[in-house]
Structure formats: structure tokens, C-alpha cells
Amino acid sequence: MTDVRRRPPSGERADLKRQAILAAAREVFLARGFEAGIDLIAERADVSKVTIYNHFGTKRDLFLAVVNDALEEALERPTAALRKSLAGSDDIREILVRTARGWVAGMAQPQVLALRNLVASEAERFPELGQAWKAHGPGPTSAILAAEFRKRVDAGELDIPDIDLALVQLYGLVLYPHFTHIAYGERFTRKRTADLIESGVDMFLTYYSATRPG
């Protein structure tokens, strides 16, 4: 039997339309939630509904694409910065501080946080949303940091019995407070953000230092 799976349009013109659809869909979903109609998205993107379905198949797939696109955009620079820091420095504190700055700059943007809230509200109905957020959000940098932590544990520099737990704790120290405060309508000052990152990294490294008194 012939494979008749849908293939999204390709080429420069198709890429431009795809980006226009993603931008319009992000705006509409954030304003109206998942229940927003495809008609409105098509109008904002200046394309037909058929064009949207040709590119994404279903509204659910479009929603997932919006989540993935937003997270890749938010974390592209911090992930690249982490790789560059690891290649150019051996100072784990400097590496973690730079990485945390990237996380905050990318993930604490109002649109990204609003999208995070939308994902949380729809995660029960669409479990793959939470999986997509984890895979495209902290996932890439987590894998890089986990490998670096293992290397430093093997070298006797750090003592981390549970690396997955340590990564959650690191996020909790330097990034998650922003989520809580912004949910209350508050934003940290630049100085408070810097203090939060630097003291958080110091606390993390002190606790997991191989030379920490038992």
C-alpha cells in the first residue's frame, strides 16, 4: 500500500508562511487559550485555514509547534552560551552563573511565562504538552550540565549522589523564584536577579563540593 502521509509544504515561501502562522497562533492562543478558532489564526497570519492544516495537520499539532517554537527561541542563546562556556572555561562557578543568566533572560519573558501557564492549564487534557515543555525547555541544557557534573564527580571536584535531583535544585535556586513572583505581578530588579543567581550558584556549589565537611 502506498504511504500517503501528509508532508508539510517546503521551500522559502512555505517557511515564511509557517513562521507567520506560528507567530499568529502564539498571539491568539495566549489571548484566548486553546479554544481559540483556527479562523482567527488564519486571519491574523493572512493565510487560509487550508494552509494552516497543510502545514500543521491539526490544531493540537499547531499548539505543540507553538510551544516548541517559543521554547527553542527562548533557550537557543543560553544553550549555545553554555556550550561556549564549557569549551572556553574550566571555572564551574562562572559556567553556572552564565547559564543561569541565560535561563532567566530566556524563560522569564512575559510571553514565555504566559505560555507556560497555558501549558499547565491544558496539560491534563494534552499530557504531551508537559512532555514537550520538559524536552524543549530545560531538557537540552539539563543533558549538557548532567554530563559536566558527572565529569566533575569522577574527577573528585563535586559530590553529587543524584544528578537529576541536583538539576532540579539548581533551577529552584536561580530560575523558579521568577515564575512565582511574576505570577503575583512582581518582577525582580536587575540587582536582585544578579544576587539571586550568584548566591544560588554559590549555595549549590558549596552543598555539592567534594570537600564539604560531612
Could you give the angle at the alpha carbon of 65 between the alpha carbons of 63 and 66, nearest 5°?
65
**Long-range CB contacts for residues 123-126, cutoff 8 Å, separation at least 24:** 126/34, 126/60, 126/63
**pLDDT at 21 > cutoff 90:** yes
163-174 helix and 139-154 helix, angle to the nearest 10 degrees: 120
For residues 81, 138, 58, 109, the Cα torsion angle rounded to the nearest 10 degrees is -70
Q: What whole-number distance in Å separates Cα of residue 135 and Cα of residue 153? A: 25
Closest by CA position to 168, among listed 147, 202, 129, 139: 139
pLDDT (mean) for 23-52: 91
The x, y and z cell numbers of residue 52, run together, are 494552516
pLDDT band with cut points at 50, 70 and 90 for residue 162:
very high
Q: What is the pLDDT of residue 182?
A: 72
Q: What is the pLDDT of residue 69?
A: 84
pLDDT digits (tens, 9 = 90+) for 66-111: 888 887 777 777 777 788 888 878 899 999 998 888 888 877 777 7
Q: What pTM was estimated for this model as a whole?
A: 0.73
**pLDDT at 4 > cutoff 70:** no
Largest Cα–Cα distance in the chain? 67
Q: What is the pLDDT of residue 83?
A: 84
Half-sphere exposure in the Cβ direction for 209 (13 Å, CA) = 11
Amino acid of residue 99: T
pLDDT (mean) for 30-52: 90
pLDDT band with cut points at 50, 70 and 90 for residue 1:
very low
**pLDDT at 186 > cutoff 70:** yes
The x, y and z cell numbers of residue 159, run together, are 559530590
Domains, the chain: 1-57 (1.10.10.60), 67-207 (1.10.357.10)
User: What integer best gives the mean pLDDT of the chain?
Assistant: 84
Amino acid of residue 56: F
Q: What is the pLDDT of residue 67?
A: 82
pLDDT digits (tens, 9 = 90+) for 105-138: 877 777 777 777 777 777 777 777 777 666 655 6
The phi and psi torsions of 209 (rounded to 5 degrees) equal -65, 140
Q: What residue has cell string 572556553?
A: 88
Higher-pLDDT residue of 12 and 209 is 209
Alpha helices in the chain (DSSP H): 12-32, 38-45, 49-56, 59-88, 92-107, 110-122, 127-136, 139-154, 163-174, 176-183, 190-207
